[in-house]
Amino acid sequence: MLTRKQHELLTFIDKHLRQTGFSPSFEEMKEALNLKSKSGIHRLITALEERGFLKRRAHRARALEVIRLPESLSPKTASASAASTATPAFAPNVIRGNFAQNLAGAVRTANDAAAVQLPLYGRIAAGLPIEALRDGGESVEVPAALLGGGEHYALEVAGDSMEQAGILDGDTVIIRRGDTAENGAIVVALVDEGEVTLKRLRRRGNSIALEAANPRYETRIFGPDRVRVQGKLVGLVRRYN
C-alpha cells in the first residue's frame, strides 16, 4: 500500500519517463508534488525503492527506473493520474509557428508499425539561439513508438547547454508541434521572431524564462510577447559511430 504522495510521485516519474526518455529532476518532482524541500522527495524515492517500485541506476545522475506500478494503476489510468498531479498547463502569450503546411510531409514508411519519416528542420542551438528554422527538404526516419498523437518534426541539436537533460550535441530531437507547453517542459522557442532555441520553459511572474541544463549557460528572461512556443520535446534519437 502506497501513501498518496508516494503514489503521486511514482505516476509523475512514470509519465515523465514515457514522454521524455529520462527521469525528472528533484526540483521538477518537488514542484509537481507541491513540496517545500527536496528532502521530502528523497524520502519518497527511498520508500518507493524499498517497496520495489523504483530503482536508482548506479553512478548516473537523474537515473530512475520504474520497476512496477500498483496493480490498481493501469497504463491508461497511470497517464491520467500523472497528468492530474503534474504542474498545471502553462499558457504564455504565444501564437502558432509556421509549420502547418510543411508538416503535412510527415509520412509513414512501408513498414507502418516500425518507422515514420519526419521532416528535418536543420540544426537548432542548445546553446545560443540560431536563425529561425528553415525547411531544407530533408527527412529523418524515427521509430513509430516515439510518436503519439499530433504532428511532429525533427531537429538536429547543436551545442551542449542541455546535456544535463540528456540531450547532447548531434542528437536528433523529436518535437510535437504546438504553441503551448506546461511549466518546466523542454520546448522549441522562437525568440523575437528571428531566433530559435531548445530550452526548458519556466514562468516567472509576468516573464518567461528559457533555462539551460548546463550551469555554464545563463537563464534568459523575456517578456511573454517575445517568446513563441513552436513545439515540445517528446523523444530523442542518437547515432553511435
Q: Which three cell numbers stand for residue 109?
A: 514508411
Angle (nearest 5°) at CA 22 between 196 and 138:
40
Selection from 179, 158, 177 nearest residue 169 by Cα: 158
Active-site annotation, residues: 161, 199
| C-alpha to C-alpha distance for 97 and 21, rounded to whole angstroms | 25
Entry field: residues in the chain: 241
Coil/strand/helix, residue 119? strand
Helical packing angle, 38-50 and 4-20, nearest 10°: 90
- What single string gives the DSSP state of each residue in 68-93? ---TT--HHHHHHHHHHHSPPPP--S
